[in-house]
Amino acid sequence: MASSLVKSLARPSVWYSRNSVIGYLIDRCSVYEQSCVTAVALRSEQFQEFSNGKCDRRTYAVQASLQSEEASVPAWVPPPLEERPWQRHSRRSGVIAVKAGMTQTWDEWGVRIPLTVLWIDNCQVTQVKSKERGDVTDAVQVGIGTVRDKRRRGRATQLGTRKRVLHEFPVSPDALLPLGTEIRASHFAAGQRVDVAGTTIGKGFQGAMKRHGFGGGPASHGTSLAHRALGSTGACQDPGRVEKGKKMPGRMGGKRRTVMNAVVYKVDPARNLLYIRGAVPGHRGNFVFVRDAHSYRTSKSQSPAAEALPFPTFIGPEPTEPQTMRGGKDPFDPLPYPLSRSRFRPPAGVWGGGVSAPRRAMLLGAPHR
């Protein structure tokens, strides 16, 4: 890449300014396992090695500008990996997982629970951004998998990592992680809520009934070739056109969607698996992005509480036993609300104002005085 840059700079008809050359070199340098100053110095050495006699003056100018920039670049080191107290504004990093498939289980009440299995395949921190270093935001970039095909190895080498998928999660300043930190399934806890983002399964071009759930036309009584038709698409002369956003047939699926407040039913640290209750966007083998739900940063009524989660991530020996969500409400309980000794007092908002206290007690068979 350095040789191609030198060839472009050696052309007599093109002149590159000092800021553009420095910006190009700094943008191309790798920040994985080396600082930005070291990478810029390495680029300048390669630039001088491949330069010819036609651009000696430009090479000298670029070297001088790089040496002046080295003193202005602040040295910033990510915080060490240690447990920190959770604050109200804290925001942890997420993980990249692979959708392994779906299964089912039954709880202690005999209710079937559909589960989606997510596998976290060696998810590591590949880049750290901080406002103290001059970045726009505080963020952690994580990667998963390994690049195997030859076509993508060149780009992976330029980025300084061989990870197959990279994703950046915005975090709070107290949740920054050092480079190379592995985020495992123990980063989450059973019972907490997460937001899972992924790409939905592509269905191709579909009609309005399947794509939007239209009811369709009559099945008989004179209906001809309009059983699954769209129907009317607009008004008459006013406005005289079809409104934008009208639901019509078209390409279905293949969109980026996020499932909000999904429940982590089970955590298997030995096999690095997450069991999410319900469905997750995408087919088997897709990459999904899991992070703490937004409600964890705004509500204190979650179970477990946000203070009980490992912060900034799980540190220590991995547990061997899976952690499963237990203690749910019995769905077959005929009296789901408790009764007091004196009179029936349901929670606020359960009954309307038109139902009297004796009527409420009679409906549920509770004594009233």
**What is the DSSP code string of 108-138?**
TT--EEEEEEEE--S-EEEEEE-GGGT-SS-
Position 74 scores a pLDDT of: 53
Question: How many whole angstroms separate alpha carbon 144 and alpha carbon 119?
Answer: 11
Position 107 scores a pLDDT of: 84
Beta-carbon neighbour count of residue 299 at 10 Å? 12
User: How crowded is the C-beta side of 48, counted as CA atoms within 13 Å?
Assistant: 11
Position 359 scores a pLDDT of: 61
Q: Is residue 125 within 8 Å of residue 142, measured between CB atoms?
A: yes
Question: How many whole angstroms separate alpha carbon 84 and alpha carbon 253?
Answer: 42
Q: What domains appear along the chain, each with residue ranges and CATH number?
A: 2-72 (no CATH), 95-202+253-324 (2.40.30.10), 334-369 (no CATH)
Q: What share of the chain is helix, strand, coil (3-state, %, to 5)?
A: 25, 20, 55
Q: Is residue 171 within 8 Å of residue 130, measured between CB atoms?
A: no
Question: How many whole angstroms separate alpha carbon 8 and alpha carbon 2?
Answer: 10
Task: Find out whether the peptide bond into 239 is cis, omega within 30 degrees of 0.
Answer: yes
User: How crowded is the C-beta side of 283, counted as CA atoms within 13 Å?
Assistant: 5
Beta-carbon neighbour count of residue 144 at 10 Å? 23
Helices assigned H by DSSP within 109-251: 153-159, 208-212
Question: How many whole angstroms separate alpha carbon 272 and alpha carbon 282?
Answer: 20
Distance of CA 310 to the CA centre of its chain: 18
| Tens-digit pLDDT string for the chain (369 aa) | 445 544 444 444 333 344 444 444 444 444 334 444 444 444 445 444 444 444 444 444 445 444 544 445 456 676 788 888 888 888 999 999 999 999 999 888 888 999 999 999 889 998 899 988 888 999 999 999 887 777 767 766 766 677 888 999 999 998 999 888 899 999 999 989 999 999 999 999 999 999 999 999 999 999 999 999 999 888 888 888 999 999 999 999 999 999 999 999 999 999 999 999 999 999 999 999 999 998 765 555 555 666 788 888 988 887 777 888 765 666 666 655 554 444 445 454 454 455 566 665 665 555 545
Compute the C-alpha angle 297/298/303, nearest 5°: 75
Handedness of CA 162, 164, 170, 171 (dihedral sign): negative
Position 213 scores a pLDDT of: 94
Beta-carbon neighbour count of residue 96 at 10 Å? 23
Q: Is residue 262 within 8 Å of residue 194, measured between CB atoms?
A: yes
Position 244 scores a pLDDT of: 92
Position 183 scores a pLDDT of: 93
Task: Find out whether the peptide bond into 178 is cis, omega within 30 degrees of 0.
Answer: no
Position 46 scores a pLDDT of: 46
Helices (H) and strands (E) in the chain, counts: 7, 12
